[in-house]
Structure 1
């Protein structure tokens, strides 16, 4: 079995806990790993809602006619259906696009309505989608508040305020993901799988933070260590195997890294075909005890983004300032153009959705 990522598990569910201590633990995990397991968040996102979201994903990817999904093909606003191989997360190193399907749901309207077309087969679930989206949004606000406290940002609500829906639109996305079983991948999906191919290419996330929901027993996620090695991330870390729901995996995105002079780590990660060959971790077979890479894989990701006009300049924090000075980030910040959140997102999307932007050029 593979050596696995040793990511801390932090319980944020008890309001009687010392919030400053919880905030400190979150920050230290974000600095060291860029990933954090969040346990016992049932009050934020009930277990039955997570189950419902996975059932919706199965209905969308397995029961919905392809014609319905094609009518909702992803647009430049990053909403809609991404077909097999349509997205390429690591274009410099991938032979073909990702072996996955995805469907992105953008922010609901102030009235709680979806602001995009969805397949008729799942139209009855639109209210559930917006409710689940909002639950994830609220949990993301809590985490942003705790990170602000842990970094002694002035004011501590800095991160939270930058993400408030009432302050403007953002690129926040709720994404359902489906990775077909290795045995089912044929030329019908557009490409045969070869050794070295991956389900999702190596990348860091584009937003501020990500909430990731996974199913027990389904292997594939790996992170890159500071030494450059790839190690798998268990769905259930030690001590959580008997929990009804796997803990939510939180990872720091590019924008929190920019805001903190690189102090918070936006860790590169990927999804592989675990097992002998085919993108497994070097020096191991990429497998975690109790997990399998043979069958289908589903996951749900909530990509939290700040308001699109937010500037990616270092936050008012003494720890962030000192880290930037010690690592030369302050000088680099002065030499580069100060991007907004939307500008960063657009540059990453153009690199990932090659076909979408190539088709535009042809037109």
Structure 2
């Protein structure tokens, strides 16, 4: 039997005849209640074919020889390839790092050239396609940020979007993710990386930036969120009513910085990726499995580095009584500790890549 799941709203952001302000208010209500929302009908921003092509590129990238990927090892700018157990999203409770590989793409030049090392196995046309997809993701995020501003009654409504200029330095990252099948992990020659009871594929965490776009493939299980009641619940790839869509709806979640800006009105919800039924405590969703490798694509949208995390000029935010700590239950980063977007990102990266920062005795 399928587990009870949180009823995360599905919002058509381009429905004909729908008032934009109604869409904006629905997005705000979903973000305030869950911190997550499904969006559909994004074809004018990102097409189903673009998403499919991005997943094809991701498979090809992770299939590159290990020597090629190691030439692109992740650096303190949060760009590059990270191998199994490199990243530890929940360092307070994880025995080993996450059971995944990731490739982070920073900005590209206007001519779609990468500004970071990439495997030589990627053709120039493939690099350009990744750059175009990253740009499309940012454009969609700017649209969502404008809607959040409108839904909160901010004057002007582009208060958030104006702080996310794509041509200025920021922590925005397009990330391809690959989680090997559990059977492949268990057969690994390294006993330290064999799965133990209670372990997860990616540790419990909140996202660092403003908004996150998550693209998933049908049938691939694993994502769970921490509900207000303190329970872990799965988030289906295809919620009811979207099974026949050209591609699964995009899942959008609120990051720490948008929660800071709104004093916790918009929730930065803790989430994780489990082994789903293989001793991790994960719950099953009918039609989803973790028996195969899991791929996902994420776009983390960040404001420009020097953005001051000052209070948003919104009556609804001013009247919100919950505050950061209450709204973001279970999130150790709910307390406001920094002044700028760049300071927050460095704080989070240092905790996630502790070995990288410790090896040269430096801090973020």
TM bin, normalised by shorter chain, reads over 0.9
User: What secondary structure does 1:53 align onto?
Assistant: helix
**Equivalent residues in 2 for 1:49-60 (5 A)?**
49-60=50-61
Superposition deviation, residue 336 in structure 1 = 6.3
CA distance in 1, matches of 2:16, 2:106: 30
CA distance in 1, matches of 2:284, 2:98: 20
Matched, 1:236 2:235: no
Q: Where in structure 2 are there 5+ consecutive unaligned residues?
A: 326-334
User: What secondary structure does 2:160 align onto?
Assistant: helix
User: What secondary structure does 1:158 align onto?
Assistant: coil
CA distance in 2, matches of 1:337, 1:174: 26
CA distance in 1, matches of 2:71, 2:32: 42
Shift in CA distance, 192/329, structure 1 to aligned 2, threshold 3 Å: closer
Superposition deviation, residue 358 in structure 1 = 1.7
Q: Is the 8 A contact 1:79 1:103 kept in 2?
A: yes
Superposition deviation, residue 110 in structure 1 = 4.0
Post-superposition CA distance 1:180-222 (Å, at most 9, x none): 0011113346611111111000000000000000000000000
CA distance in 1, matches of 2:251, 2:142: 15
User: What secondary structure does 1:222 align onto?
Assistant: strand
Give the aligned partner of residue 339 of structure 1. Answer: 339
Q: Which has the higher helix share?
A: 1
Superposition deviation, residue 165 in structure 1 = 2.1
Post-superposition CA distance 1:215-273 (Å, at most 9, x none): 00000000000111000000000001111200000000000000000100000000000
Q: Is the 8 A contact 1:5 1:234 kept in 2?
A: no
Match of 2:290 among 281, 288, 293: 293
Give the aligned partner of residue 215 of structure 1. Answer: 217
Superposition deviation, residue 113 in structure 1 = 2.5
User: What secondary structure does 2:224 align onto?
Assistant: strand
Give the aligned partner of residue 305 of structure 1. Answer: 302
Between 35-44 and 11-20, the greater mean CA deviation after superposition: 11-20
Q: Is the 8 A contact 1:307 1:341 kept in 2?
A: yes
User: What secondary structure does 1:90 align onto?
Assistant: coil
Q: Is the 8 A contact 2:101 2:178 kept in 1?
A: yes
CA distance in 2, matches of 1:137, 1:40: 17
CA distance in 2, matches of 1:272, 1:160: 33
Q: Is the 8 A contact 2:174 2:300 kept in 1?
A: yes
Give the aligned partner of residue 358 of structure 1. Answer: 358
Match of 1:254 among 256, 271, 286: 256
CA distance in 1, matches of 2:338, 2:101: 34
Superposition deviation, residue 322 in structure 1 = 1.6
CA distance in 1, matches of 2:287, 2:306: 44
CA distance in 1, matches of 2:337, 2:201: 34
User: What secondary structure does 1:78 align onto?
Assistant: coil
Give the aligned partner of residue 107 of structure 1. Answer: 107
Q: Is the 8 A contact 1:313 1:338 kept in 2?
A: no
Give the aligned partner of residue 91 of structure 1. Answer: 91
Superposition deviation, residue 328 in structure 1 = 5.5
Q: Is the 8 A contact 2:263 2:323 kept in 1?
A: no
Q: Where in structure 1 are there 5+ consecutive unaligned residues?
A: none
Q: Is the 8 A contact 2:217 2:237 kept in 1?
A: yes
Superposition deviation, residue 16 in structure 1 = 4.1
Superposition deviation, residue 280 in structure 1 = 2.3
Give the aligned partner of residue 136 of structure 1. Answer: 137
**Equivalent residues in 2 for 1:307-326 (5 A)?**
307-323=304-320, 326=321
Match of 1:327 among 317, 322, 325: 322
Q: Is the 8 A contact 1:39 1:247 kept in 2?
A: yes
Superposition deviation, residue 164 in structure 1 = 1.3
Matched, 1:348 2:348: yes
Q: Is the 8 A contact 1:259 1:312 kept in 2?
A: yes
Q: Which runs of 4+ in 1 moved over 6 A?
A: none
CA distance in 2, matches of 1:205, 1:178: 18
